[in-house]
Amino acid sequence: MPRPGGSTMHYYSTRGQDGPLGYEDALLSGLARDGGLYLPAEWPRFTEADISAMQGLSYAELAGRIMAPFCDGEVDEAELTAMAQDAYAGFDHPDIAPLVPLQDNLHVLELFHGPTIAFKDYAMQFLARAFDRALKKNRQHAVIVGATSGDTGSAALEAFKGRDAVDIFILFPDGRVSPVQQRQMTSVVADGAHAVAVSGDFDDCQAVVKALFNDLEFRDQVNLSAINSINWARLMPQIVYYFAAALRLGAPARKVAFSVPTGNFGNVFAGYVAVQMGLPVERLIIASNQNDILPRFFASGAMARETVVPSLSPSMDIQVSSNFERLLFELLDRDGAATATVMQHFAETGRFEVDDSVLARARQLFSAYRLDDAGTLAEIAETAAQSNMTIDPHSAVGVYAARAAHADGTVSSDVPIVALACAHPAKFDAAVAKATGVAPALPPHLADLMQRPERQQHVAATPDAVRSLIMKMKRGT
Ligand SMILES: *Cc1c(COP(=O)(O)O)cnc(C)c1O
């Protein structure tokens, strides 16, 4: 989509105090300096004819077409297509994100065909190439530090391993990730890639990462970068599969709805962006587990933090959905000062409320459902028995929400719903076995995973310990 005068896309913080900056600067800095999140100055818009013309593109070509306007003036469509081609070359399905019918007007979008069998691969594989390109162009080296409760860390280590321009350190809570998740991280043996077991829980890991980013001297010294889901470039590649699924179901002529298992609000926000870009979408369904801060918000207009209760879908065990700030900024008519005030209040009190008119606007596009662990097991069992399809606990929460939205008329029964399947069932095999009596097998490329040799560092949960480890292990200058 050519933009008049060849102007470049500019990014601004949701808190109004940072920007404009270009795509690659937004990519490399991750979090804005005022504590906000970067968003493009305006949403690129595809016409119906533009969307019709996407029919028949390969997945990589579609990725290039959709991401190009966000990188305008810096990376062109042909290069983005080539990067996507490379990023997804190792995926184990020719459709990259295959759409599988479950029953009438209910489809499952399988987002687990990448190397670490969760949807994080779709963004992370692209992100690693985007970092490489940006750093090499400027002859820079970066150190990436991230905390993970499981899926992000394995996808990141797999994507960034062996890249000269980057050293990556992924902190995970020792003994508190699933055996498959742990082995996916610790079996990455490559220069510059480090799985770090921290004696503490996920919050301790995150607190250490925050402390390192707040140590400005250290941050500049090693050129610290973040790859968590608040990085705008993580969201960009996720927009693509919303278009891919809708095109397969007849877009732009036919509207569809999506049901999205949600934790940090990143994946479902990518769906929101697809809508802003012109994709005809009837409804976005937010699917939460028992940590239901979002369904409570959509019921009452009040966002109220509670303590996290561990569930069978641990990647959604989140009380503060960091990417929600981006939707809030949109709902507040892109008023950065107003967004900053609300977020400040939330940080201090654990609570904020929006006006009825704001809530009403949010409800025009979004609905939210919750499902507890008992319901999750029941959904896995029912889907296996009725449709002979094995789904993981996160996907089950999404499939349940899709069925509920059809059943209560929130989405008319003649509108197809696409439920996003965010992880392969073998990644959460214990829960699946509990529901169905059968433990799902890992896909062929991971069949020997649990026999692979492990390498990991062990550190105390303090910024000093992690800082010393990084200084000792990092390459570059
Ligand atoms: C990360 C993750 C989620 C939550 O996605 P968000 O973008 O944080 O909302 C859901 N399911 C699985 C399997 C995940 O790995």
pLDDT tens digits for range 348-375: 999 999 999 999 999 999 999 999 999 9
Q: How far is the CA of 439 from the centre of ligand 1 (A)?
A: 22
Please indicate, yes or no, if residue 192 is contained in any of the structural domains: no
Range of the domain at 262: 99-115+232-436
| Per-residue pLDDT tens digits for 413-437 | 999 999 999 999 999 999 999 999 9
Model pLDDT, residue 230:
86
Residue in 264, 316, 324, 424 to alter for ligand 1 test, most ligand atoms within 8 A of Cβ? 316
| Per-residue pLDDT tens digits for 301-313 | 999 999 889 999 9
Catalytic residue status for 120: yes
Query: Which among 120, 255, 427, 474 is annotated as catalytic?
Result: 120
Q: How far is the CA of 152 from the centre of ligand 1 (A)?
A: 9
Q: How far is the CA of 318 from the centre of ligand 1 (A)?
A: 10
Atom of ligand 1 nearest to the CA of 318: 8
Measured between alpha carbons, how far is residue 9 from residues 36, 41, 42, 78, 464 in Å? 18, 7, 8, 17, 39
Q: Lowest mean pLDDT: which of 157-171, 224-238, 446-460?
A: 224-238
Express as a percent the part of the chain with pLDDT over 70.
98
Please indicate, yes or no, if residue 409 is contained in any of the structural domains: yes
Q: How many domains does the chain have?
A: 1
Cβ proximity of 392 and 424 under 8 Å = yes
Cβ proximity of 133 and 83 under 8 Å = yes
Alpha-carbon torsion (327, 100, 311, 451), positive or negative: negative
Measured between alpha carbons, how far is residue 333 from residues 34, 214, 329, 423 in Å? 19, 30, 7, 34
Model pLDDT, residue 178:
86
Please indicate, yes or no, if residue 394 is contained in any of the structural domains: yes
Q: What is the CATH number of the domain that holds 273?
A: 3.40.50.1100
Q: Whose CA is nearest to atom 14 of ligand 1?
A: 315
**Contacts of residue 378, Cβ cutoff 8 Å, sequence gap at least 6:** 435
| Per-residue pLDDT tens digits for 10-41 | 999 999 999 999 999 999 988 888 889 999 99
Q: Whose CA is nearest to atom 8 of ligand 1?
A: 264
* Cis peptide preceding 443, ω within 30 of 0: no
Measured between alpha carbons, how far is residue 443 from residues 92, 199, 251, 446, 451 in Å? 9, 31, 31, 6, 15
Model pLDDT, residue 477:
61
Q: Strand, coil or helix: what is 398?
A: helix
List, chain by chain if needed, residues with CB within 6 Å of any ligand 1 atom: 118, 120, 151, 229, 261-267, 315-316, 394, 422-423
Please indicate, yes or no, if residue 120 is contained in any of the structural domains: no
Please indicate, yes or no, if residue 475 is contained in any of the structural domains: no
Cβ neighbours, 10 Å, residue 414: 9
Strands (E), 262-317: 281-288, 302-304
Residue 1 pLDDT exceeds 70: no
| Per-residue pLDDT tens digits for 208-264 | 998 898 888 999 999 999 888 889 999 999 999 999 999 999 999 999 999 999 999
Model pLDDT, residue 33:
80
Atom of ligand 1 nearest to the CA of 428: 13
How many residues does the structure list for the chain?
477
Picking from 110, 74, 107, the residue whose alpha carbon sits closest to that of residue 91 is: 110
Model pLDDT, residue 2:
41
Q: Give the predicted TM-score (pTM) of the model.
A: 0.96
List residues bridging with 197 in a β-sheet: 172, 458
Q: How far is the CA of 343 from the centre of ligand 1 (A)?
A: 22
Model pLDDT, residue 138:
87
φ, ψ dihedrals at 30, nearest 5°: 70, -85
**Contacts of residue 364, Cβ cutoff 8 Å, sequence gap at least 6:** none
